[in-house]
Amino acid sequence: MQLEITTPDDWHVHFRDGDALQYTVPATAKTFGRAIVMPNLVPPITTVTQAEAYRQRILAHAQGANFGSSTHLFEPLMTLYLTEQMASSEIAAAAASPHVFACKLYPAGATTNSANGVRDPANIYPLLEAMEKLDLPLLVHGEVTEQEVDIFDREAVFIDRHLAPIAKNFPGLRIVFEHITTAAAVDFVKESSNRIGATLTPQHLMHNRNDLLVGGIRPHLYCLPILKAANDQRALQQAAISGNPRFFLGTDSAPHARLTKEAACGCAGCYSAPTAIELYAEIFEQLGALDKLEGFASFFGADFYRLPRNITRLRLQRTSNIVPERAPFVGEDGIVPLHAGKTISWQQS
Ligand SMILES: [Zn+2]
């Protein structure tokens, strides 16, 4: 059996920088036409000039990326990292750039390389006003970081404390609630205006916190926001297959070398890029909704960002496919991809 869909896009990916790019960029470019590239490098990408230079470093590893029936050059869609020090003129420069497509709000300390993030979203309201006016989308890592808030409650608390007020104060601002993990987030998006969308990762669709913690801790399933309960997972699955165009594919593929995850204090992030579309196909098939995969993976994100849909095609074969235990990465230890060692039913051809 074969499945053919319009070439998908990944609306949330972490490529890292330097030596990592030779591994991370081809892993995404072999499948996806475009990807929203997250800006949380060290130091973060906070200017259009930095974003342009980062884009060139990415493109140097995307040459000849080949997918579907035709050869097509992968296109990285760059983003800026919002800080409380950023000037509104930088938002204007971003909106004018042909290569910058959004700005990302990281609450300070929320995830990998977010120390320079925003302490209080109210402090960047002038930037959000500029983004609303220039129609530049806001991408949000939606978790509060206050010590007293339980890690499993941080997304729901963020909605009440920050996201709902932002949506209300900036009714024209397009917002992507990234890598949502809870039924509360699904409900928030469904009940919002059509200017608010959300990305869904393969790990949050395939797993809940029992998979992370029961019978031993599995560091390669540790990501942020952390996996939630089974009822949350079911809500995410239903959103993904609902055909609602405001839920679309964003892997949040976030590489960390093996030993930085298999450690006493392991890093957060799942590296799904090498078999991302296969994992989504697996989930959609299990849910009896393969016919909904193309909209979710190839149409809805492009429509939300107001970009043309891809015109090339991607083919998947239904065949037994074992995800490798290890993939090459910076350093000798390699990297452990999401679903390593497990068998899935699809393979990109
Ligand atoms: Zn991310």
Distance 141 CA to ligand 1 centre (A): 7
Number of domain units in the chain:
1
Mean pLDDT for 107-113 is 80
Distance 39 CA to ligand 1 centre (A): 9
pLDDT in tens, 198-256: 999 999 999 999 999 999 999 999 999 999 999 999 999 999 999 999 999 999 999 99
pLDDT in tens, 162-191: 999 999 999 999 999 999 999 999 999 999
Which residues are close to ligand 1, an ion, with C-beta < 5 A?
A: 252
| CA distance readout (Å), 83 to 34, 154, 232 | 26, 21, 31
Instruction: Specify the pLDDT at position 64.
Output: 58
CATH number at residue 198: 3.20.20.140
For tokens 């000849």, name the residue: 64
User: Which range, of 24-33, 102-111, 183-192, 340-349, averages the lowest pLDDT?
Assistant: 102-111
Instruction: Specify the pLDDT at position 114.
Output: 76
Q: Between 111 and 60, whose confidence is greater? A: 60
Q: Flag whether the pTM goes above 0.85.
A: yes
Annotated catalytic residue, options 9, 10, 232, 252: 252
Distance 102 CA to ligand 1 centre (A): 14
Distance 89 CA to ligand 1 centre (A): 26
Residue 291 has pLDDT above 90, yes or no: yes
Distance 16 CA to ligand 1 centre (A): 11
Distance 143 CA to ligand 1 centre (A): 12
Instruction: Specify the pLDDT at position 109.
Output: 79
| 232 catalytically annotated | no
CB 164 within 8 A of CB 145: no
Q: Which two tokens stand for residue 9?
A: 């896009």
> Predicted confidence band at 66 (pLDDT cuts at 50, 70, 90)?
low
Distance 1 CA to ligand 1 centre (A): 33
> Predicted confidence band at 71 (pLDDT cuts at 50, 70, 90)?
low
Distance 14 CA to ligand 1 centre (A): 6
CB 317 within 8 A of CB 346: yes
Q: Which two tokens stand for residue 298?
A: 């190839």
Mean pLDDT for 28-48 is 96
- The boundaries of the domain holding residue 180 are 2-348
Q: Omega into 225 within 30° of 0, i.e. cis?
A: yes
Residue 337 has pLDDT above 60, yes or no: yes
Render 160-221 in DSSP notation, one character per residue. Answer: IIIIHHHHHH-TT--EEE-S--SHHHHHHHHHS-TTEEEEE-HHHHH--HHHHHTTS--GGG
Distance 250 CA to ligand 1 centre (A): 9
User: Which range, of 10-19, 29-38, 58-67, 332-341, averages the lowest pLDDT?
Assistant: 58-67
Instruction: Specify the pLDDT at position 68.
Output: 45
pLDDT in tens, 258-282: 999 999 999 999 999 999 999 999 9
